[in-house]
Amino acid sequence: MKKQQGFTLIELMIVVAIIGILAAIALPAFQDYTARAQAAEAPKATSGLATDIAVYVSENTVVGVEADGTIAATAGALQGKYITNGGVTVGAGGVITVPFDAGVLAGQTMTLTPAINGGQISQWTCAGLANPNHLPSGCR
């Protein structure tokens, strides 16, 4: 008599169940990671604009920064893989608004707000996304 080799049906079902449970746990974590990676494009793409705003604030005051033609033109020229082309704007107080038009964050808008201390920008704060966990780690 020859002994049969291989896996039984129950062993295969257990392996499939374990893989299903692991996939159910890993998928949401991967989606959050993907959203954070896409959101990181906003601070990176606007870093030069943030520098322009910092120079304007140090030479003038934050009042009127949104009306400066050079800063508005720089903001309007920004584009990216997930950022709306020409959609970046600078508002009152130097707040940068970055709308997303692709990826997981499509339809959402991130705002980068400067904290001004004594005529200088000490930090930038990010907000505006539906899920705060999607904000890049540098913004939290």
Encoding tokens for residue 47? Answer: 């870093």
Domain span at residue 112 reads: 9-139
Q: Burial level of 76, CB count in 10 A (0-12/13-18/19+)?
A: middle
For residue 100, being part of any structural domain is answered with yes
* pLDDT, tens digit, 9 for 90 and up, residues 63-113: 777 777 888 888 888 888 999 888 898 888 889 999 999 888 999 999 999
For residue 1, being part of any structural domain is answered with no
For residue 126, being part of any structural domain is answered with yes
For residue 2, being part of any structural domain is answered with no
CB atoms within 10 A of CB 137: 7
For residue 4, being part of any structural domain is answered with no
* Mean pLDDT for the stretch of residues 41-60: 88
pTM of the prediction? 0.78
CATH number at residue 134: 3.30.700.10
Nearest to 116 by CA among 140, 92, 137, 99: 92
Structural domains in the chain (count):
1
